[in-house]
Amino acid sequence: MLYIVPTPLGNLEDMTARAKNQLSACDFIIAENPPQTHKLLQLLGLPKKEVKQFADHNEQKVLGQLLERIKTESACLVSDAGTPGISDPGFRLVRAARKENIEVVSLPGASASITALAGSGLPTDKFLFVGFFPKTEPKLIRTIEEAKQISATLIAYESPQRLLKTLRYIATTFPEANIAVARELTKMHEEYQIGSANELIEIFTAKPTIKGEVTILLSFK
C-alpha cells in the first residue's frame, strides 16, 4: 500500500497527527531527498525509518523495485515540503502504483499553492496551477495568456533568484495584472506582497536579498 503524506512547508506544528502516525507505522518511506526526510523524522521525534530515494535521476532504475515492495509492504511517499507529487516526480510513482492495482491513500495536508491562494486575496473560484514558471519570456507570456483567457487566477512557483526577472516580463506585457507574491510560507519571515508588477519590482528591488520559496499569483479580476 502507498500512502501520500504531506509534510510541513516550514512550521513543524502543521504536521497532522494522522501524518505522524502513518510515518511511524509504515514499513519504509519514499522521498526525493532522503537526508531531508531523515532530518524531518528526527525533528518530529518519530522513529527512524528506511528511506528510499525516488527522483528524476534514478526514477527508471528504482521504479520497478519500489512497486514490488509496496505490493506487500506499506510505504509513505513524502516530499521535502508540502504535498508529494505537486511539481515533483512523485506523481509518476503514484500513477505506476495505480496501474499495478496497488492501493493508494492520499492524506490531506500542506500545499504552498493553496496556502498562498487562500492568503492572497485574489479570486479563488477558478485557478490554474502551472508548477514552476517557464524561464523564457515567450513561454511565460503564453502561460499567463492561457489563465487570462479562462478568467482564472494563475498560481506558479518561482525561484528567488528569478523573481525580479519574471516580474519584469509580466510588467512589460501585463501591467494591469493584480499580483501577489507569497514567500517563506508558514516560516518566521513569511511575507505577502500585493500589487502590480511594477509596484512589486520596486518593493523587491529595495530588498538587499530575496530568499526562500516563492509563489506568484496573478489575476485580471
Domain architecture of the chain: domains with CATH: 2-106 (3.40.1010.10), 112-219 (3.30.950.10)
Q: Which residue(s) pair with 126 in the sheet?
A: none
Q: pLDDT tens-digit profile of 68-84? A: 999 999 999 999 999 99
Per-residue pLDDT, averaged over 101-130, amounts to 97
pLDDT band at 135 (very low <50, low <70, confident <90, very high): very high
Strand order through the sheet with 104-106: 51-53, 28-31, 75-78, 2-4, 104-106
The per-residue pLDDT of the chain, averaged, comes to 96
pLDDT band for position 4 (cuts 50, 70, 90):
very high
Q: State the pairing for strand pair 75-78/51-53.
A: unpaired
pLDDT grade for 209, boundaries at 50, 70 and 90: very high
pLDDT band at 93 (very low <50, low <70, confident <90, very high): very high
The answer to whether residue 144 scores a pLDDT higher than 90 is yes
pLDDT bucket at 202, cuts 50 / 70 / 90: very high
Q: Cα 17 to the chain's mean position, in Å?
A: 21
Instruction: Tell me what pLDDT residue 88 has.
Output: 87
Report the C-alpha dihedral over residues 19, 25, 42, 3, rounded to 10 degrees.
-40
Yes or no: say if 2 and 103 are a contact pair by the CB < 8 Å rule.
yes
- The tens digit of pLDDT for each residue in 153-187 reads 999 999 999 999 999 999 999 999 999 999 999 99
Q: Give the pLDDT of residue 59.
A: 87
Tell me how far CA of residue 196 lies from CA of 30, 69, 125, 178, in angstroms: 41, 50, 21, 5
Using 50, 70 and 90 to split pLDDT, how confident is the model at 56? Answer: confident
- The string over 72-106, giving b where at least 16 C-beta atoms fall within 10 Å of a residue's C-beta and e elsewhere, is eebbbbbbbbbbbbbbbbbeebbebbeeeebeeee
In this predicted structure, the answer to whether residue 18 has a pLDDT above a threshold of 90 is yes
